[in-house]
Amino acid sequence: MRRFSVILVMVIPVFAAPMPKCKGNPKVIDACYSVHGRVNLGADTIRLRLWPIGTDRLLGVTGGPSIDDAGEPIFPRNLKLNPSDAIYGDFEVCPFTQERKGAMRFVCIESASNLVRKH
């Protein structure tokens, strides 16, 4: 019985570990903001991309400010992505990097609403 208790004490924290958060994440460098845009999967290192409609910019959805954080992007569960779909909607994003001309800005997505899926 004692061994079982020790195992439980070691395993519970793993399952109780919180999902990475967006808003309030210590890597976020500026205020979160809303965009109306399209999310789809890309074919390179930054797999999840958000295009704010009406701009010629792309936001890279990542887990932090470095390209190494791209493998675990932070986004809400209601964004169920398929490779052949684009999802249009209203997104609240929080920036991990400064906006620079000619460079993709890295963000996380705090929330997504008014979603429309296009195949």
| Among 87, 117, 96, 85, CA closest to 32 | 96
Is residue 37 in a domain?
Answer: yes
Instruction: Give me 10's structure tokens.
Output: 């070691």
How far is residue 111's CA from residue 91's CA, in Å, rounded to a whole number? 6
Q: Average pLDDT, whole number, for the chain?
A: 87
Expressed as residue numbers, the domain containing 39 is 22-118
Distance CA 55, CA 34 (A): 14
The reply to whether 11 falls in a domain is: no
**Does 38 have pLDDT greater than 70?**
yes
pTM score: 0.82
Query: Does residue 100 register a pLDDT over 60?
Result: yes
What's the structural domain count of the chain?
1
Q: Is residue 47 part of a domain?
A: yes
Q: What is the pLDDT of residue 81?
A: 87
Using an 8 Å Cβ cutoff, are 90 and 97 in contact? no
Is residue 2 in some structural domain?
no
Q: Is 108 among the domain residues?
A: yes
Residue 60 domain flag: yes
